[in-house]
Chain A
Amino acid sequence: MKFSHLITAGLAIAALTGCGEGGGPSVKVGLNTELTGEMPAVGASSKNAAELFASQINAAGGIDVGGKKLPLKLAVGDNGAKADQAAAIAQRLIAQENVVAMIGPDASACAIPASEIAESLKCPMISPWSTNPKTTLDAITGKPKAYVFRACFTDNFQAGVLAKFVLNNLKAKTAAVLYDVASEAPNGQATLFRQTFEANGGQIVGFETYTTGDRDFSAQLTKIKATNPEVIFLPAYYNDVPLIAQQARRLGITAQFVGSDAWSSPEIIKLGGADIDGSFFCNHYSTQIATPVAQKFMTDYQAKYGQPPDDVAALTYDAFGLLVEAIKQAGKLDREAIRDALSKIAKYDGVTGTMKFQPPSGDPLKSAVVLQIKDGKFVWVANAQP
Chain B
Amino acid sequence: MILAAAAASSAFSGWAFYLAQQSINALQLGSIYALIALGYSMVYGVLTMINFAHGDLFMLGAFACLLIAAFLPLPFVVILLLVILLIGLLGALIERVAYRPLRGGPRVSAIITALGCGLVIENLTLVNFPYAQRMPALFTSTSYQVAGLTISTLQLLIIGISVALMLGLDFFIYKTRYGIAMRAIAFDARTVPLMGVPADRIISLTFLIGAGLGGAAGMLYGLAYPVIAPSMGVLVGWKAFIAAVIGGIGSVRGAVLGGFILGGVEIMVVAFLPSTYRDLISYSLLLVILIFKPYGLLGRAPNQKV
Q: What is A's interface to B at a CB cutoff of 8 Å?
A: 36, 38, 40-41, 181, 208-211, 213-216, 218-220, 222-223, 226, 239, 242-243, 246-247, 250-252, 267, 270-271, 273
Contact = CB atoms under 8 A, between A and B. Distances in A.
A243 B134 CA distance: 10
Interface string B244-288: 000000000000000000000011101100111011000000000
Interface in B9-35: 14, 18, 21-22, 25-26, 28-29
Given A41-B131, A250-B141, A219 B227 contact: no
B267 A271 contact: no
> Chain A's interface: helix, strand, loop or mixed, by majority?
helix
A215 B134 contact: no
A209 B226 contact: no
Nearest to B21: A222
Given A218-B25, A220-B270, A250-B141, A239 B227 contact: yes
A271 B275 contact: no
Given A223-B270, A252-B145, 13 more contacts: A36-B126, A38-B231, A41-B131, A214-B235, A219-B22, A219-B25, A219-B270, A219-B275, A242-B227, A243-B227, A250-B150, A251-B150, A271-B132
Contacts of A223: 270-271, 275
A239 B21 contact: no
Nearest to A210: B275
21 contacts: A36-B126, A41-B131, A181-B276, A209-B274, A210-B278, A213-B235, A216-B25, A216-B266, A218-B28, A218-B29, A219-B268, A219-B270, A219-B275, A220-B275, A223-B271, A223-B275, A239-B229, A242-B134, A243-B227, A250-B150, A273-B134
B131 A40 contact: yes
A246 B270 contact: no
B225 interface: yes
B275 A209 contact: yes
Nearest to A214: B235
B203 interface: no
Given A211-B279, A250-B143, A252-B150, A267 B132 contact: yes
Contacts of A267: 131-132
Given A243-B226, A250-B141, A208 B275 contact: yes
Contacts of A216: 25, 28-29, 224-225, 266
A243 B271 CA distance: 19
> Chain B's interface: helix, strand, loop or mixed, by majority?
helix
Smallest CB-CB A-B distances: 5 pairs: A219-B270, A218-B25, A215-B225, A213-B235, A219-B267
A222 B20 CA distance: 11
A38 B234 CA distance: 13
A364 B184 CA distance: 71
A40 B154 CA distance: 30
B232 interface: yes
Given A209-B276, A226-B18, A243 B225 contact: yes
Nearest to A208: B275
Interface string B194-232: 000000000000000000000000000100111101011
Nearest to A242: B227
A221 to B, nearest CB: 9
A46 to B, nearest CB: 15
B160 interface: no
Contacts of B126: 36
A139 B272 CA distance: 35
Interface in B123-156: 126, 130-132, 134, 141, 143, 145, 150, 152, 154
